[in-house]
Amino acid sequence: MTRSLTILGATGSVGASTLDLVRRNRADWRVVALTANGNVAELAELAREFSAEIAVVADESCLADLRVALAGSGIEAAAGRSALCEVAARPVDMTVAAIVGCAGLAPVMAAIEQGGTVALANKEALVSAGAVMTAAVERHGATLLPVDSEHNAIFQCLAGNDLAEVAKITLTASGGPLRTWTLAQLEAATAAQAVAHPNWDMGAKISVDSATMMNKGLELIEAHHLFPVGLDRLGIVVHPQSVIHSMVEFRDRSTLAQLGPSDMRVPIASCLAWPARMESPCEPLDLAAIGQLTFEAPDETRFPATRLARQAAEAGGAAPAVLNAANEVAVAAFLAGKIGFTRIALLVEQVLESGTLPPAPQTLDEVLTVDREARATATAFLGQRYSGD
Ligand code: NAD
Ligand code: MG
């Protein structure tokens, strides 16, 4: 049976992996909407290839170009943040939420409100909105499936078990490209070095997050909302080979792990086909060739981001949204060459510790206000002199 599909963030890394699977199974899917930030040429090409009903760019100044690029195709063109939300609200069987950052939150909420299945890659949206998002999922009878490889692994390991049976959930972390660097080396790390991930091919923002370990911090908060077993039952272990994508230990001390190649098409395929399975084009796992799986404890002296994220999760309320917003500002500044690598976590800590936290947001608008204000605070700190740069 053909199912309808919308991809928010179709031109990104997760978007491309999703479309690769759809391309191999064209008859199974009817593409409704594809969206991008401002990459008109690529978006128009994808919209034509997949015969989308509508293509949307978030950047309004790109609308005229998008219209030209889609001329004669019969594909609708739209632009702007509200168009993005309107399109996300169109009923579909499956929405793949693959925008990067809190910019994806409002469209994800719109997709949840139409009550379909949302395959969530956009972790920043869940980190920022937390209970506001999980309550909306309940209220609208939507289904949230985790695309993030760790959470997808946990979801598969849980396989219908009651969360009350869980003793511990362990997120694995590759440790990123700078895992073995000393603090002094980390201070001089460049953007090119930070995005050169050894195992995964991803967008720039998540690659930097992976290098700082903030990605694991965000994932800890993500897991806290998706699998509410209590923060004391959520752990992190560094596993440089990225073969085990996470594990669940049950109270009888039986631990289930999910293994697979480091290719996002595996967790995406698991979401697209759920609760069934589909063929994947990925190479099968060759454990004999891999030889060894190793594990080590995270080092929060060199990589303080996981500690900050855990503290934000414990504080709850607005803290995770503040953490996320400050991190987005810091990562953008690092990628632009404005701050050094180790200042990313320092800036996040500075913003979290400045003044009192706003009250816990209860609505989407309140989350967006917390996000906006934390960005302003982070940007103001960026303008100040800092001896480490
Ligand atoms: P990416 O940078 O490759 O792609 C991001 C997509 O979002 C693009 O289509 C871009 O046009 C769009 N976009 C960017 N800014 C936007 C804005 N302001 N408004 C609207 N659209 C915007 O990112 P990615 O690596 O594909 O990651 C997407 C999300 O998935 C992130 O939240 C990331 O943490 C998560 N994720 C990615 C991977 C991975 O392997 N890449 C793995 C797990 C989770
Ligand atoms: Mg992940």
Per-residue pLDDT reduced to its tens digit, 236-289: 999 999 999 999 999 999 999 999 999 999 999 999 999 999 999 999 999 999
Phi, psi of 53 (to 5 degrees): -75, -35
Phi, psi of 213 (to 5 degrees): 75, 5
Domain boundary among 119, 146, 173: 146
Does residue 202 lie in a domain region? no
- pLDDT digits over 35-90, tens only? 999 999 999 999 999 999 999 999 999 999 999 999 999 999 999 999 999 999 99
Q: Ion ligand 2 — residues with CB under 5 Å?
A: 148-150
Closest CA to ligand 1's atom 2:
203
Q: Is the pTM of this model over 0.95?
A: yes
| 12 is annotated as contributing to ligand binding | yes
Residue 8 CB–ligand 1 contact under 6 Å: no
| 82 is annotated as contributing to ligand binding | no
Residue 258 CB–ligand 1 contact under 6 Å: no
Q: How far is the CA of 232 from the centre of ligand 2 (A)?
A: 20
- pLDDT digits over 121-151, tens only? 999 999 999 999 999 999 999 999 999 999 9
Does residue 163 lie in a domain region? no
User: Regarding beta strands 3-8 and 29-36, do their DSSP bridges make them parallel or antiparallel, or are they unpaired?
Assistant: parallel
Does residue 32 lie in a domain region? yes
Q: Kindly tell me if the per-residue pLDDT of 386 is higher than 70.
A: no
Ligand having the closest approach to the CA of 197:
1
Q: What is the pLDDT of residue 52?
A: 98
Angle in degrees, 0-180, between the axes of helices 105-113 and 364-383, rounded to the nearest 10: 170
Does residue 71 lie in a domain region? yes
For residue 39, the ligand 1 atom closest to its alpha carbon is 11
Closest CA to ligand 1's atom 5:
12
Does residue 336 lie in a domain region? yes
- pLDDT digits over 302-348, tens only? 999 999 999 999 999 999 999 999 999 999 999 999 999 999 999 99
Length of the chain: 389
pLDDT, average across residues 210-215: 98
Domain boundary among 125, 146, 167: 146
Can you read off the two tokens belonging to residue 306? 């996981």
Domain extent for 72: 3-146
pLDDT, average across residues 80-105: 98
pLDDT above 70 coverage of the chain, percent? 99
Q: Kindly tell me if the per-residue pLDDT of 385 is higher than 90.
A: no
Among 355, 333, 332, 330, residue whose Cα is nearest residue 344: 330
Q: SS3 for 357?
A: coil
Report the CATH number that the domain containing residue 370 is assigned in CATH. Answer: 1.10.1740.10
Q: What is the pLDDT of residue 198?
A: 82
Q: What is the pLDDT confidence band of residue 387, given thresholds at 50, 70 and 90?
A: low
Residue 39 CB–ligand 1 contact under 6 Å: yes
Closest CA to ligand 1's atom 27:
100
Q: Which residue has the tokens 């034509």?
A: 48
Does residue 138 lie in a domain region? yes
Report the CATH number that the domain containing residue 31 is assigned in CATH. Answer: 3.40.50.720
Can you read off the two tokens belonging to residue 17? 């992996």
Could you tell me the maximum CA-CA distance found in the chain, to the nearest angstrom?
62
CB atoms within 10 A of CB 213: 30
Residue 148 CB–ligand 1 contact under 6 Å: yes
Rounded Cα–Cα distance for residues 373 and 375 (Å): 5
Domain boundary among 121, 146, 171: 146
Ligand having the closest approach to the CA of 174:
2
Does residue 369 lie in a domain region? yes
pLDDT, average across residues 94-118: 98
H helices of 10-80, in order, are 13-23, 40-49, 63-69
Q: How many domains does the chain have?
A: 2
Average pLDDT along the chain:
97
Rounded Cα–Cα distance for residues 118 and 127 (Å): 16
pLDDT, average across residues 183-189: 97
Does residue 311 lie in a domain region? no
Q: What is the pLDDT of residue 82?
A: 97
| 327 is annotated as contributing to ligand binding | no
Q: How far is the CA of 386 from the centre of ligand 2 (A)?
A: 31
Q: What is the pLDDT of residue 200?
A: 80
Asked if 349 and 323 touch (Cβ cutoff 8 Å), the reply is no
Can you read off the two tokens belonging to residue 204? 């720039």
The single-letter code of the amino acid at 88 is: A
Residue in 7, 14, 87 to alter for ligand 1 test, most ligand atoms within 8 A of Cβ? 14
Q: Kindly tell me if the per-residue pLDDT of 388 is higher than 60.
A: no
Q: How far is the CA of 34 from the centre of ligand 1 (A)?
A: 13
